[in-house]
Structure 1
Amino acid sequence: MKYTLTKDLETGNALIDNEHRQLFDAVNKLMDACSQGKGRDLIEKTVRFLNDYVAKHFRDEEQLQIQSKYPGYSAHRQFHEQYKQKLTQVENQIINTGATIATLGKLNEIIGVLITHIRMDDKRIADHIKASS
């Protein structure tokens, strides 16, 4: 299953939506490589990208929240911090033990959490930003 930025995932904020597309592209490339038996070659690179992506994307989102005085900023930031910790743990497991079915499963689970976060929380932020503009 390919990840695409469908209407239910679009926030309407160009910056956020563009960054989400970058995320989906990286994950889709990894999934394609896995389906061709080449996933192990790409997983470390993808996890490093995800860590860099998450750091930048979350920083961008938090700036937008601060600028728009988003009332859920503290809780949203707390989610971001916990998410970054979990992603770093998976990255360390992959680096230390290599790409296994278990680590790929954990990575897939973490990506699923991020997709749900986009669908629910990021859309709320975008709605708030639109309303406060």
Structure 2
Amino acid sequence: MKYTLTNDLETGNALIDSEHKQLFDAVNKLMDACSQGKGRDNIESTVQFLLNYVSKHFSDEEQLQTKYKYPGYAAHKQFHEGYKRTLAQTTDQIRTSGANIAALGKLNETIGVLIAHIRTEDKRVAAHVKSAS
């Protein structure tokens, strides 16, 4: 399954949307590497990029929220912290057990949570930033 930034996932904020696209591209690259048996080196570098980029993206979103005094900032940040932990656990599983069906299923589940978050919470953030600008 390829992840794409479809119209229903676009927030209308150029920064947030471009970063979501890059996140999806990184996940797609990881899934491709896993399914093609590209070896641990490729998987390791892609996992590390994904973890680093999620942290960068969440930080960028949180800066927007504080700059524009987003009222749901505390809950949004709490989600981000929990998600980073979940993603780290999921990618650790891929690192240790390899790209087996269970690990890739868990990754798909983890990305599904992110997509649901984008569809609701990130759209609220973008709408708030737009109205406060």
Partner of 1:105 in structure 2?
A: 105
Q: 1:70-89 residue pairs with structure 2 within 5 A?
A: 70-89=70-89
SS in 2 for 1:57: helix
Identity of aligned residues (%): 69
Change (3 A) 1:39 1:63: same
Q: Which amino acid aligns with 1:38?
A: G
The residue that corresponds to 1:14 in the other structure is 14
Rounded to whole Å, the distance in 2 between the matches of 1:9 and 1:117 is: 10
Shift of 1:39: 5.8
Q: TM-score, normalising length from structure 1? A: 0.88
What corresponds to 2:118 in structure 1? 118
SS in 1 for 2:131: helix
Counterparts of 1:26 and 1:96 in 2: how far apart (Å)? 19
Following superposition, the deviation at residue 34 of structure 1 comes to 4.9
Task: Give the letter for the 2:46 counterpart.
Answer: T
Residue number in structure 2 paired with 1:38 = 37
SS class of match (1:8): helix
| CA distance in 2: counterparts of 1:93 and 1:32, whole angstroms | 17
| Contact 1:3–1:28 (Cα < 8 Å) also in 2 | yes
Is 63-72 or 92-101 further displaced after alignment?
92-101
* Alpha-carbon shift at residue 97 of structure 1 (Å): 2.3
List gaps (5 residues or longer) in structure 2: none
**Whole-Å separation in 2 of the counterparts to 1:98 and 1:46:** 13
> Residue 23 of structure 1: CA displacement?
1.1
Q: Is the 8 A contact 2:30 2:47 kept in 1?
A: no
Q: State the alpha-carbon separation in 1 of the partners of residues 95 and 33 from structure 2.
A: 18
C-alpha distance in 2, partners of 1:130/1:68?
9
Question: Cα RMSD (Å) of the superposition?
Answer: 1.7
Return the TM-score normalized by structure 2.
Answer: 0.88
Give the CA deviation at 1:125: 0.2
Unaligned runs of at least 5 residues, structure 1: none
Distance 1:40 1:79 in 2: 32
Contact 1:31–1:39 under 8 Å retained in 2: no
Once the two structures are superposed, residues 32-67 of structure 1 have per-residue CA deviations (whole angstroms, 9 ceiling, x without a partner) of 4455x3365543333222211110000000000000
CA distance in 2, matches of 1:49, 1:117: 21
Over 3 Å counting, the alpha-carbon distance change for 1:32 and 1:94 in structure 2 is closer
